[in-house]
Amino acid sequence: MSDIRPSFTTQRFLLRTALPVLAAVLAICIAVSVLVVWSSRETDKVAVSRQESLLALVVSQAQFLIAHDQESSTVWDDAVQHVKMPDNVDWLNNNLGAWMSTYFGHDGAYVLDTKDDPIFAFSDGKIAENSVYETLRPAVEPLAAKLRAMLRNPDPNGYGDRVLSPGASEVLTLGGRPAIVSVKPIVSDTGALEQTAEETYLHVAVRYLDESFKTDLERDYLFTGLRFSPQSNLETGEHGFPLQSSLGQTIGYYIWQPYRPGSTVISQIAPAFAGIVALMTGIMAALLVVLRFRSQKLHSSEERMNFLALHDSLTGLPNRVHFNDRLDAALSATKAAPLAVLYLDLDRFKHVNDTLGHPVGDELIRQFTARLKGVIEDKGFIARLGGDEFIVIVPKATRLLAIETLCENIITVVRHPFDIDGNHIFIGVSIGVAMAPADGTERTELVRKADIALYHAKTAGRGQFAVFGTEMDTMLQQRRTLERELREALSSDTQIQVHYQPLYSARNTKITGVEALLRWKHPLHGWIAPDVFIPIAEEAGMIEALGERVLRQACLDAMSWPIETVAVNVSAVELRNPAYAMKVAKILLSIGMDPTRLELEVTESALTDRAGHCEHNIKSLRALGITIALDDFGTGFSSLGRLQQLAVDRIKIDRCFVQGFGRSTNDEAIVRAIIDLAHAKGLRTTAEGVETTEQSEYLRGIGCDDLQGFLLARPAPGRDIERLLRTSGSLGAISTTG
């Protein structure tokens, strides 16, 4: 019995305790295993489904944005007129070709005539032969035909708040590559130019959906190992998403390694789960902790994806989509809480990118954003629309004075130089303001009016702000009228005139030269300021004709004057013309003027073009004996260090430093440093804007060579300058004449 008892007890233990416990543990393990496996698979499915939805959204947004980008140049009166002009490749490239590539990232741009034949082609980052379009013709022709049908029978309900013109686009393959092809009509933005469907030129934009597009997707939205394949050739662990056209035709597959949080959990806990069955409670607790951790990670990933979809990757600011949603929501409550929209655009930002490179431009955008946040703080909502354009929503804008003060503060903080990679960069910011509900309660209208106000701020001299007024629409039309009248003035013998402002030796107060200044006497409106019509001339392509007229007239007038030099301002547009130096040489030869008596005044921006045309012209002009003066020194990208690298003969100190004498000790120190370094380099110096005797005496005391300003003489016609040269003999007499 003693031998059987232990055996019975063991058996009972096994039957009543061990087996039920083992069975229970096994059942629990199986149940938990099944639950974990099922949960992981469902989690993987949800994660993959969300990535699929995100990918579809990004492709859809890209298709809309390409058409929206086109409208920035295709809905424009100037475009309607210029596409019909012969031999107009440069204009087409600047506005409908290279512009679309550099600003919006399009891979190809084509302009089609009324017969849907190409008159301009831009591909692979440069102007291409029109024959390149033939490879695209089979894909584009159906879209062009569809668009012309829409133009013949326009939708009476319009095309939506965000669409300015009809269009046809499709996702398809071009040369085996996936691409979005969008066709838009080139139409009038004012409605002043009417044209039928058969008279309308078309603009074709191409954006490939592989290479850079794929790289952006992989980087911005965390698609690991993303690639595109015409067939669904999946490798282990990969997932494919069909890219389809609007007709449902699959043109290929995006394939990537999807993020599978559930599978990751299984791989990490399986060894511990199999090895520690006895510690079931601890394993379950660990499993819950791990699952919680993975869930949080997945949630963080989703938040990151949502953030990237609604924010600018460079600055972290809300993007255009986020701004639109925010403004729509704010406008729904404008009756209870009025708001202001501030449209900001950086002045001279394009020059920074062109001369110092895009990395410096990106850092400048980031530093500007930091300063803007410091001014706005919690007063408003800031968004970056793209490039150097920003927009601010200021809620509860009940007092216009507070908005004006805010604009002044923004302009003030931007005036201080930005220090980037050893460069002291001076830029400005222009601001347009629209108020709701006074200027409208609909987003598109409110932003349009803020944009109009921004344009007026820029035309007023940049670095300013303007609040929208009903007269601004009229002023915009007046600006176009002024452009037309300036063209007429160029053909007139009396409207475009040249006045001269003398330069005086700081040592003996004798006239050493004159500066030629362009003036426009309008037959109806009288004298029009150069700050008004010079920017118009540069934008409209008339500046070279004006510059040539001033140069010829100044040389003719100064031939018989007893002065050392006559100075003529030269725009960067003129200097970028490879033939400019030859043009100047021909003018001097035809007049018979000694080149050493001519001084050309240029800004520093003209000396830093990447193509090198300006530098070549400067060297050629100096080789002729012409002297070069650097105008407005200290207001652009100038620095005392850069002064040693510039091929000039004279430095003209900007009037803003001279007028700061007595108010800021820094201005006197800056001017003294400029003069000392210029003399060390063998350069002459001229101070502009001398308006008081104290300024004149200080400049003379620190060794400035020449003075110019209203204290000495104001600009005058040539006949008055001749009389002044005959009668001037002392500073007092000259000042009286001024």
Residue 207 has φ and ψ, to the nearest 5°, of -130, 110
What does DSSP assign to residue 146?
H
- Chain Cα centroid distance, residue 609: 18
Is 483 domain-assigned?
Answer: no
| DSSP letter (8 states) at residue 577 | S
Backbone angles phi, psi at 167, to 5 degrees: -165, 165
- Helix axis angle for 358-376 and 400-415, nearest 10°, is 140
Altogether, the residues listed in the chain come to a count of 738
11 and 157 fall within a common domain:
no
Based on the fold, state whether residues 644 and 655 are members of the same structural domain.
yes
From the list 355, 353, 347, 352, the residue with the least C-alpha distance to 576 is: 355
Amino acid at 125: G
Express each pLDDT in 627-637 by its tens digit: 999 887 766 54
CA 183 – CA 178 distance, rounded (Å): 17
Euclidean distance between CA atoms 568 and 516, whole angstroms: 5
Contact status, residue 110 vs residue 204, Cβ threshold 8 Å:
yes
Nearest to 240 by CA among 226, 259, 220, 221: 226
Query: How many domains does the chain divide into?
Result: 5
- Count of other CB atoms within 10 angstroms of residue 176: 8
For 682-691, the pLDDT digits (tens) are 999 999 999 9
Distance CA 136, CA 148 (A): 18
Range of the domain at 613: 542-737
CATH of the domain at 335: 3.30.70.270
Query: What span, in angstroms and rounded, lies between the C-alpha atoms of 206 and 94?
Result: 17
- Residue 202 and residue 112 in contact, taking contact as beta carbons nearer than 8 Å: yes
Compute the distance between CA of residue 306 and CA of residue 219 in angstroms, rounded to an integer.
14
48 lies in the same domain as 164: no
Is 87 inside any structural domain?
yes
Q: What is the rounded distance in angstroms from the CA atom of residue 175 to the CA atom of residue 481?
A: 47
Question: What CATH number has the domain bearing residue 661?
Answer: 3.20.20.450
Q: Computed over its alpha carbons, how large is the radius of gyration of the chain?
A: 35
Residue 548 lies in a domain: yes
The per-residue pLDDT for 1 is: 45
Q: Based on the domain organization, do 327 and 432 belong to the same domain?
A: yes
Same domain, 230 and 371: no
Shared domain check, 554 and 570: yes
Q: Are residues 613 and 632 in the same domain?
A: yes
Same domain, 645 and 697: yes
Of 459, 449, 496, the closest CA to residue 479 belongs to 459
DSSP symbols for 337-364: S-EEEEEEEEETHHHHHHHH-HHHHHHH
Q: Is the peptide bond before 437 cis (omega within 30 degrees of 0)?
A: yes
Last residue of a domain, one of 469, 486, 515: 469
> Distance between the two ends of the chain, CA-based, in angstroms?
138
Residues 142 and 83 in one domain: yes
In a domain, 509, yes or no: no
Determine, yes or no, domain membership for 511.
no
The answer to whether residues 335 and 464 belong to one domain is: yes
Domain boundary among 148, 179, 209: 209
Average pLDDT across each block of 10 residues of the chain; the chain has 738 residues. List them in order. Answer: 51 64 74 79 83 86 89 91 91 92 91 94 92 92 92 81 87 89 93 89 92 82 84 85 85 86 77 72 64 68 76 92 92 76 91 84 94 92 93 91 94 92 90 91 91 85 86 74 86 89 92 94 88 82 90 93 94 88 94 94 72 83 93 61 70 87 78 89 92 93 94 93 78 34
Q: What gap in Å lies between CA 129 and CA 115, rounded to an integer? A: 18
The upper half-sphere exposure of residue 81, i.e. CA atoms within 13 Å in the direction of its Cβ, equals 8
- Three-state SS sequence of 400-419: HHHHHHHHHHHHHHHHCCEE
In what helix (H) or strand (E) does residue 24 lie, and over which residues does it extend? helix 19-74
357 shares its domain with 227:
no
| H or E stretch at 226 | strand 224-229
Helix or strand holding residue 522 (H, E): strand 511-522
Residue 284 lies in a domain: yes
Helix (H, G, I), strand (E, B) or coil at 504: strand
Residue 165, domain CATH: 3.30.450.30
Which of 433, 452, 469 represents a domain boundary (last residue)? 469
Residue 515 lies in a domain: no
Asked whether 703 and 697 are in contact (CB, 8 A), the reply is no
Q: Is residue 510 part of a domain?
A: no
User: Would you state the pLDDT for residue 42?
Assistant: 83
Q: Are residues 225 and 305 in the same domain?
A: no
- Angstrom distance (rounded) from CA 183 to CA 168: 5
